[in-house]
Amino acid sequence: MFFSQEVSIPAHEYLIFYLPLPADNTTTGITQALLDNFKLLANFTSASYCPSNENSTVGSPVTCTGTICPLVEADVVTSVAEFGSENDTTVSDIKGYVALDPVRSLIVVAFAGSGNVRNWLADFTFEELPYADCNACSIHSGFATGWSERRSTVLAAVSTALLAHPDYSIVVTGHSLGAAVGTLAAVELRSLNHSVDVYTYGSPRVGNEAFADFVTSQSPTQGGNFRMTHVNDPVPQLPPTWVGYQHTSPEYWLSGGNATTEDYGAQDVVVCEGVGNEGCNAGTGLVPIDGEAHNHYLGLIDACSGPFSF
């Protein structure tokens, strides 16, 4: 797979800078190749917000206004299926697309984050539902609803794309609420015997500790898990751990800047290993809340929809 080579490299080989390994299993620095992957998938995620990628015909190019997704446009990425728009009638109104990248031989499933009140109602309903595919696992009910409303469209589009391009790799990406839904999409695609890398930005916690362990254990044999956070972004700190939620491991934390910093080097990424790790983003706390950090992931990731506000 295009991305799996990063996943399969032992940690001691791909870390650029080393710090003494403390109890919280935190290290500093990643390879430039992995940072480039994060930048590429951030471009794909940014494109999921853009109105130009709503309701277009199959085979049409994925485009963005201005210079929001230059890496996607340079590869002449084309649409397989799109979902969500101003006229959408679903409960959660999850927006995104499935597309083909012929340059990198990728099938990309991209989910946008929260764009309206219905999205945030889904985000802040903390009720958990059982997740049938693993013992004692439960997931956020709103995220489960979001995925269920897009499941048939996404699975059919991926199946169609694989029939035409069986040698392509599958990558799922998303921001915010779209990151949570993307995690569920990746896990289900893996259950169908596909190897799937998942790149998320500013993801809230998706399920309980058992679910976080389950997803974490799928890497690297079923695809890599690449969860990025940014300084004190408040969204990855929700839903709170005191109601039973935990994050998957590892976390890639953009650190050393402020809420609007977008230019980071590989040496600026801190890696926190372990489900429930209290370092990295979780260590910044929710007070004071700064929603600006949620918008800036190697660029203004939601530029097509306007800034997130808490």
Q: Are 200 and 249 in contact (CB under 8 A)?
A: no
Is residue 255 flagged as an active site residue?
A: no
From the number of C-beta atoms within 10 Å of its C-beta (0-12, 13-18, 19+), residue 56 rates as middle
Is residue 176 flagged as an active site residue?
A: yes
Q: Which residue among the candidates 93, 123, 233, 268 is catalytic per the annotation?
A: 233
Token pair recorded at residue 240: 């709170």
Q: Are 64 and 52 in contact (CB under 8 A)?
A: yes
65-104 in b/e form (b: 16+ CB < 10 A) is eeebbebbbebebbbbbbbbeeebeeebbbbbbbbbbeeb
276-285 in b/e form (b: 16+ CB < 10 A) is ebebbbbebe
Backbone angles phi, psi at 253, to 5 degrees: -105, 120
Q: Which residue among the candidates 46, 176, 195, 203 is catalytic per the annotation?
A: 176
Residues annotated catalytic, as ranges: 176, 233
